[in-house]
Chains A and B, each alone.
Chain A
Amino acid sequence: MSRGSGAGYDRHITIFSPEGRLFQVEYAFKAVKATAITSIGVRGKDSVCVVTQKKVPDKLLDQTCVTHLFPITKYLGLLATGNTADARSLVHQARNEAAEYRFKFGYEMPVDVLSRWIADKSQVYTQHAYMRPLGVVAMVLGIDEEKGPQLYKCDPAGHFFGHKATSAGLKEQEAINFLEKKMKNDPAFSYEETVQTAVSALQSVLQEDFKATEIEVGVVRSDDRVFRVLSSEEIDEHLTAISERD
């Protein structure tokens, strides 16, 4: 007759609880929310845009080193929401993997292949007791040669899906509700509309207007294909366009 929870270890390592849940994975999701940052990604007709908050906790900190947006290759970007240390570890491994892929196979690693690799690694941490799941939700963006702009989200449980738009972090659910209304009729956003939808979604959900230094924006466009982080001036242009529009 079971003592209910396997001597209580189901909360410490990734074994099943009596209800068939993995508590460590659920706690990893909570760790993502604990950083109090919200991120949003939107896929348009010929571009993908991701936006995240940039919170610099100390005025003496060098702002350029506080970032959640990482280029993996010239053409692939990764927005990591959650524990920064886990994020850096994941990015480091992803960069290695993408570079090896290019070397081994002779062509650039596609977005969905990288996402699947990240998700499969996360799954291993949910099944083997010796490693804990990472407290990171990764949004991978890029332009696929056949399928066009792609946005994938990978979570600590090992799930990965392609998205038309998505969110991660503290206000994830509110942002998804907002985006569902915007994307209901499968609109085909242009580059400007994509960026503005992402930024205005973040502003609406957090109920504050941002300065260019308070957010980070990363984009890939079909005509350019290179992953770019927008500069403060470019972000300002978009913010001005949004406020003029409203």
Chain B
Amino acid sequence: MGDSQYSFSLTTFSPSGKLVQIEHALTAVGSGQTSLGIKASNGVVIATEKKLPSILVDESSVHKIQSLTPNIGVVYSGMGPDFRVLVRKSRKQAEQYHRLYKEPIPVTQLVRETAAVMQEFTQSGGVRPFGVSLLVAGYDDKGPQLYQVDPSGSYFSWKASAMGKNVSNAKTFLEKRYVEEMELDDAVHTAILTLKEGFEGQISEKNIEIGIIGEKKEFRQVALFIFPLCVSA
């Protein structure tokens, strides 16, 4: 995955043992728009702010939440163009798995392969790390799952997590509100309230995106007509 013109890695150790390019990539993630995910007992919800640079932008052309397979969805914080690359690579990996095993790829496998790609870009020649953190939401035989993948390529499973500008407030809010046997509807409600916490300006169905996956194992974007009912609380 490296470039033959650059046979050396651009991400190298500092004297204190840190990989500074990865730290800078995390800073880039931290200045991105807030996104979060919550795992419920019967599904997973992921959500993100969708603040566009101008009212002239056609918001129906922007999709920050994407599906990787029919039962796995993903959202990001950080650099949009890098996200598109990872979505494309992950979709291809999922399809290759399916071609070989005639089975949908388990969530953990897809996360592991995506994380491996991100790690490659921290070590290969002539490339920089990805400036995104991903929240992968899926539902397979092991039940609902939520994973966060960082620019370094490390990944963890979460009950609820947040990323981006408002990460500390969002995580505090989630810690307070998270209940072990939460249902998906409550999780969606909590997700919207968490987004509302740090939202600059007026939150509406035009400037957020929400994706859910339930027991039917179909990842889909929520049509936000339910929105007024949630926000009035």
Contact A161 B61 (CB under 8 A): yes
Contact A120 B27 (CB under 8 A): no
For residue B84, CB closer than 8 A to chain A, the reply is yes
Partner of A18, one of B24, B53, B54, B80: B24
Of residues B57, B61, B88, which shows the largest number of chain A Cβ atoms within 10 Å of its Cβ?
B61
Partner of A157, one of B31, B57, B81: B81
For residue A38, CB closer than 8 A to chain B, the reply is no
Contact B54 A180 (CB under 8 A): yes
For residue A14, CB closer than 8 A to chain B, the reply is yes
Contact A15 B21 (CB under 8 A): yes
For residue A129, CB closer than 8 A to chain B, the reply is yes
Interface range on chain A (Cβ under 8 Å from partner): 35 or more
B68-122 CB contacts (< 8 Å) to partner A: 79-82, 84-85, 88, 121
Partner of B55, one of A9, A112, A130, A184: A184
Residues 1-31 of chain B: 1 if any A CB is under 8 Å from the residue's CB, otherwise 0?
0010110001100111010110111111111
For residue A73, CB closer than 8 A to chain B, the reply is no
A1-24 CB contacts (< 8 Å) to partner B: 1-3, 6, 9, 13-22
For residue B58, CB closer than 8 A to chain A, the reply is yes
Partner of B81, one of A152, A158, A176: A158
Partner of B10, one of A123, A126, A129, A165: A129
How far, in whole Å, are A180 and B54 apart by their CA atoms in the complex? 8
How far, in whole Å, are A127 and B83 apart by their CA atoms in the complex? 12
With A18-B27, A120-B84 already in contact, the answer to whether A128 and B127 are too (CB < 8 A) is yes
Contacts of A20 in B (CB 8 A): 24-31, 131
Contact A119 B81 (CB under 8 A): yes
Contact B55 A180 (CB under 8 A): yes
Contact A161 B52 (CB under 8 A): yes
With A15-B10, A120-B81, A130-B126 already in contact, the answer to whether A162 and B24 are too (CB < 8 A) is no
What 17 additional pairs, Cβ within 8 angstroms, besides A22-B131, A161-B53, A163-B57?
A2-B18, A2-B20, A15-B10, A16-B27, A16-B131, A17-B24, A18-B20, A20-B28, A21-B28, A22-B128, A123-B82, A124-B85, A127-B85, A127-B130, A128-B3, A161-B57, A183-B56
